[in-house]
Amino acid sequence: MSAITLDRVGKRYGAGAAAVTALDDVTLDIDAGDFVAIVGPSGSGKSTLLNLVAGIDTASAGRVHVLGHDLGALADDARSDLRLRELGFVFQTFNLFPTFTAEENVAWPRRFRGDSWHEARRRAADALAAIGLDASARGRVPAELSGGEQQRVAIARALVNEPRLLLADEPTGNLDSETTATILELFARLHVEQALTVLLVTHNPAAAAHAGRQVTLRDGRVAADVRGDARARGARS
Amino acid sequence: MPTPRDTRLAMMFLRSGRLRLALVVVALALGVAAVCAVDVLNRAVLRAFVEVVDAMAGRAALQVSAGGAGLFREGLVHRVARAPGVAAALPVMSATTFAVGGAEPLTVYGVDLLSDQPGRAWGAKLPRLSAEEQRSGTPEPRAVLLPRALAARRGLVPGDALELETPTGRHRYRVRDVVELEGMSRSVGDDLVIMHLADAQQDFGSVRLVNRGDVVLEADADVERARAAIAALLPPGIQVTTPLQRRMDLHRVMRSLQVILWGVAVVAVLLSALVAFDAIATHFEAQAWQAGVLRAVGLRTAVVWRELLKQAAVLGGAAVALGVPAGVALGWALVPLVAVTAAVNYKITAPPAAASLSPWSLLIAACVGLAAALLAAALPAWRAARVSIAATVGLRGREAQAAHERVAWLPRALVVAGAIGAAWAGGRSAAAGLVATGLVLAATALAARPLLAALVLPLQRLLDRVTGPAAPFACAGIAQGLRRTALAVAVLAVGVASVIWMRTVSVSFERSLVHALGGSLRADLIVASTRVVSGWVPAPVSADVLDEVRGVAGVAHVAGNRLADWTFRGAAVAVNAFDPAYFQADAFEKPPLLGARAPDAWARVGRGKAVVVSTSFLLNFGVAVGDRIELETPRGPLALPIAGATLAFVSPGGTIEMSRELYERHWRDPLVNRVWVRTAPGAALPAVREAIAARVGHSHGLRAASAGDMREHLVAQARRAFAPLVVIEGVLLVVALLSVGDTLAASVLRRLREIGTLRALGVRRGPVVRIVLVEALVIGALGLALGAAAGVLLGGLWIHRTLPHLLGWLLAFHFPWARGVVVLLATALVCLVAAILPARRAARLEPAMALRYE
């Protein structure tokens, strides 16, 4: 079953002669349970594609279907509800609230799902434990956490609402190689354990290698779309 | 989903930016405190003055009087007693006196202690006279009754002596008994001396004359019908009024003061809302990326907006918690001062006003604080909630490039049109004057952005010649953050405008008063009581004092002066009566006449053939020089032409200057408040002064002051009246400057990466600091210029339109140059300090660190 369908999607910024085409005629189908890496050089449209799938930006042309919903037909509030209940978003720069503790950063989305603060914090603790953050770190604010720990907290926040789709925009862009490896292994494990559909934007080939499918963008267009077996055959050859 | 009352998320967001949030709380608390203090003041002062009115009548349903100072025959009250519906009519001679050595005024009630009428009229049990007194029909002379509370305060018991200062000199009275006034004391108060009517007439007035009659109606009598029946019995100049009517009159008088106080509160609330808006907008802009994350994770726009507003509600709650006790304390502290202000301005005795707390005061102040916080946050929160998610989450704390927003001209045009309309109507009603004040301040704030947008380029060209390459960067910084910079200019402008406005009003009043006094107090010495009975008017004394003073060696000319409150066409005015010698002799210079005048105007007034009125009288009653006016006097109508007009501040309603001979004849009032003295050529002024003091100082409680001393004394009274404004001006300016300082410091932090780029490209520290300084000085200069222009406009509006309507005074406009210089220096200093410290710190950072700043 298709989790994400992009049908001739385009995105332009600006107008007239100064317009910039970020995406041009992109058609893509991602099945539920897939782990897909979107790769490409800077300015190729990777983050734009992710933003369109998340519904935090709107396409200039074509249609975007996510988990059975036509995002172009949804009102802003409905797109927000979809993000809250079905999607999880991990940012490159973590985007943790600096005055919240790690636990509070993970708990607040549950609050907006209807849980009490007590229940929200309990679930947050569970989510942090699942991603392997030390219990002693839960009461610290982001400034007191390492980059890897902050990204773990961000991942926990993305997962606390039990989404069906996890979107990650350069999640290892600000991390060292050792931490990058740890985070990517975490993604792979969660993909399997929680049967998540994962869409990972990265310019790091090593990160892309963890995915079962790799879609390459260049100048806003799909330049290549290689599945895991085909990639392995390509690597061997 | 968090309930509307759940503020946990809001509290977590409020953990950052504590200094700025403290500024928001302080600014909002200022508005709350102002509203609370003004409400406390209005209730306390009005209640106190209403109690004074009630004190004058006790339980009497009606009161017969001849205006303020007029005396009428006692027999008239006995005639009133026979009117249908009247149960009792009590002739009363009331006066204000002082105990020798005491500072607080006492009220004297002279009533017929031989009858039971005082008890019936006042509902109080007065002790019976002795059998001997009843038989002889003559109570013990100069024997008084004192309320228990007063006697206890002064340590007096029956049999003790009490020495009082009266118009006829100091007299000793025996305390006959101490009485329990019970319910009467609630309305009359405890500072009361009750004596037999004949004693009061002899010592304070004239034999057989009284100044009021208290009327008690039968239980089933119709008040209006009885009032009409009594009025039919009274000659012209004598009126019958109800306590409600008197209360309503006083309400009208007090309303002017209340409007002025509310005007100050409105300004404080406006400024506090503006400062809060600026600081909250800065706080939310810093949080914009967090709002983007909230939206990215899946919160609806309205939910994000609500969560941001909760932060404002928490801040508003903190402001209420801080502002209410501060406002109550401020109100309590200012009650005595405002009571004196009212007494000085309206020439009534300042009662011991006591502040008390009303739940309404607290509720109003709390609502103002919360409403101001929510209104200040509504727009910035909406902007923050509607940011582009994709644009803001990627910036991670860096400010998004604001989309170019066009200046909204329609709301600005509407506010300006409203201000012009209200200003035009300000001459007709106090409320319009207040509305005009608020709209002018709002227009000042709204003018900041278009002004800044229009001036940025010309300023850049101008500053380029002065500051070199710093100018383009500074002006670029202003243009980039136009909305925020304009807000800082607006806050400063409103603060400066408020200070200039208030100071202009007080300086104009003081200078106009000095100018008027210079024209009117033209004598070598002025002899008057050391006691003040109503506002600033000295206690009246017997005209016999004139002969005493005339007999002092070195005195060449003497003229008596009587100041009395009266009514004309139902409105309060003052009569300022001088002996004919004042008008006819060249010894005394008269105040200059303004505009049209009759030939020999002053001489005609001296002969009792005309009057001179104040310019406020002409304005308030719509009359002109040459018109005839008819005064209702206790002796009947008195018609006189207006021979000229002069500047006088005796009464807000207007002043009528006439011959004291004429006044005494028609009002039956033989007393004087002041004695004008011209010394003989060659006589040493200090010696004459001492001789006068020796002759009448002790016996009558009088002192001789030079005209200069008297002028200074009255000016000091006027300064006291405006003293509360000095405190308020200071607080407003400090809050405005704190806000500007915060904006400037935040501006430096926001541009840290830009500063790092400049340093990385080779720009030295000095020019970097200069860029920030130029921006700060542009903000300061524009805010000052805009604020000064608005302040002058507001000062002119109040001097020329609102105050004449509110108070009846016609003032000349005087700009407060000294205060203007202080404001200029304070603004420049704050702008420099607020900019230079963070700018130097930023310039000293290693460029690499500054470039990494988010």
Question: What is the identity of the amino acid at B159?
Answer: G
Q: What is the pLDDT of residue B173?
A: 95
φ and ψ at residue A96, rounded to 5 degrees: -85, 150
**ipTM of predicted complex:** 0.77
Q: What is the pLDDT of residue B715?
A: 73
Residue pair B278/B747 in contact by the 8 Å Cβ criterion: no
Residue pair B326/B29 in contact by the 8 Å Cβ criterion: yes
Residues 239-298 of B with CB under 8 A from A: 289-290, 293, 295-298
Residue pair B313/B370 in contact by the 8 Å Cβ criterion: yes
* pLDDT less than 50: residues of chain B: 57, 185, 397-403, 854
Q: Phi-psi bin for A141: left (phi > 0), alpha (psi -120 to 50), beta?
A: beta
Q: What is the pLDDT of residue A237?
A: 45
Q: What is the pLDDT of residue B806?
A: 66
Taking CB atoms and an 8 Å limit, are A54 and B296 in contact across chains?
A: yes
Taking CB atoms and an 8 Å limit, are A112 and B299 in contact across chains?
A: yes
Q: Give CA–CA dist A36/A222, Å, rounded.
A: 13
CA distances from B350 to A192, B53, B718 (A): 86, 12, 15
* List of E strands, B314-358: none
Residue pair B212/B196 in contact by the 8 Å Cβ criterion: no
Pick from A47, A98, A117: which is nearest to B8 by CB? A117
Q: What is the pLDDT of residue A62?
A: 95
User: pLDDT digits over A63-108, tens only?
Assistant: 999 999 999 999 888 888 888 899 998 988 888 888 889 999 999 8
Question: What is the identity of the amino acid at B426?
Answer: G
Question: What is the identity of the amino acid at B526?
Answer: I
Which pairs with CB-CB distance under 8 Å and at least 24 residues apart come from B265-268?
A: B265/B34, B265/B35, B265/B37, B265/B38, B266/B434, B266/B437, B266/B438, B267/B437, B267/B438, B267/B441, B267/B498, B267/B501, B267/B732, B268/B30, B268/B31, B268/B33, B268/B34, B268/B35, B268/B728, B268/B731, B268/B732
Which position has the token pair 């040493």? B684
> Taking CB atoms and an 8 Å cut-off, how many pairs form between chains A and B?
76
Q: Give CA–CA dist B162/B100, Å, rounded.
A: 8
φ and ψ at residue B534, rounded to 5 degrees: -150, 105
What average pLDDT is seen over chain B?
A: 81
Residue pair B201/B210 in contact by the 8 Å Cβ criterion: yes
Burial class (CB in 10 A: 0-12, 13-18, 19+), B24: buried
Question: What is the identity of the amino acid at A50?
Answer: L
Q: Does B7 touch chain A (CB under 8 A)?
A: no
Q: Which candidate, B839, A225, B807, places its Cα nearest to that of B799?
A: B807
Which DSSP symbol is given to A58?
-
CA distances from B778 to A105, B16, B455, B775, B783 (A): 42, 29, 10, 5, 8
Q: Give CA–CA dist B600/B609, Å, rounded.
A: 11
Q: Does B303 touch chain A (CB under 8 A)?
A: yes
Reduce the secondary structure of B406-442 to three states and give it as a string. CCCHHHHHHHHHHHHHHHHHCCCCHHHHHHHHHHHHH
Residue pair B636/B489 in contact by the 8 Å Cβ criterion: no
The number of CA neighbours under 13 Å toward the Cβ of B17 is 25
Q: Is the pLDDT of residue A166 over 90?
A: yes
Q: What is the pLDDT of residue A236?
A: 45
Query: Which residue of A lies nearest to B296 if distances are taken between CA atoms?
Result: A56
List Cβ neighbours of B724 (8 Å cut-off, separation of 6 or more): B334, B337, B338, B341
Q: Give CA–CA dist A44/B304, Å, rounded.
A: 32
DSSP-assigned letters across all residues of B245-279: HHHHHHHHHHHHHHHHHHHHHHHHHHHHHHHHHHH
Q: Give CA–CA dist B498/B490, Å, rounded.
A: 12
- Cβ neighbours of A95 in B, within 8 Å: 289-290, 293, 296, 393, 396
Taking CB atoms and an 8 Å limit, are A99 and B13 in contact across chains?
A: yes
Q: Best residue in B297, B388, B853 to probe A by mutation, most A CBs within 10 Å? A: B297
Q: Is the pLDDT of residue A57 over 50?
A: yes
Residue pair B422/B342 in contact by the 8 Å Cβ criterion: no
Q: Give CA–CA dist B396/B399, Å, rounded.
A: 8
Taking CB atoms and an 8 Å limit, are B303 and A57 in contact across chains?
A: no
The CA distance from B757 to the nearest CA of chain A, in Å, is: 22
* List of E strands, B544-685: 555-568, 571-578, 611-614, 628-633, 636-646, 655-659, 671-672, 674-679
Q: Give CA–CA dist A26/B73, Å, rounded.
A: 108
**Polymer length in residues for chain B:** 854
Q: How confident is the model at residue A233 (pLDDT cuts 50, 70, 90)?
A: very low
Q: Best residue in A108, A117, A141 to probe B by mutation, most B CBs within 10 Å? A: A108
Region A145-160: mean pLDDT is 92
Reduce the secondary structure of B270-308 to three states and give it as a string. HHHHHHHHHHHHHHHHHCHHHHHHHHHHCCCHHHHHHHH
Q: Which residues pair with A35 in a beta bridge?
A: A198
Beginning with the edge strand found earlier in the chain, give each strand of the sheet holding B525-529 in spatial order.
B628-633, B636-646, B611-614, B655-659, B571-578, B555-568, B674-679, B525-529, B702-706
Taking CB atoms and an 8 Å limit, are A95 and B289 in contact across chains?
A: yes
Measured at the CA of B142, the angle between CA B153 and CA B163, to 5 degrees, comes to: 45
- Output the six-digit token pair for B309: 């507003």
Q: Give CA–CA dist B173/B97, Å, rounded.
A: 13
DSSP-assigned letters across all residues of B9-35: HHHHHTTS-HHHHHHHHHHHHHHHHHH
Residue pair B205/B541 in contact by the 8 Å Cβ criterion: no
Which DSSP symbol is given to B717?
H
Taking CB atoms and an 8 Å limit, are A85 and B298 in contact across chains?
A: yes
Q: Best residue in A99, A118, A119 to probe B by mutation, most B CBs within 10 Å? A: A99
pTM of the full predicted structure? 0.71
CA distances from B377 to B3, B266, B315, B349 (A): 19, 19, 10, 46
Q: Kindly tell me the sign of the dihedral angle through the C-alpha atoms of B478, B484, B486, B492.
A: negative
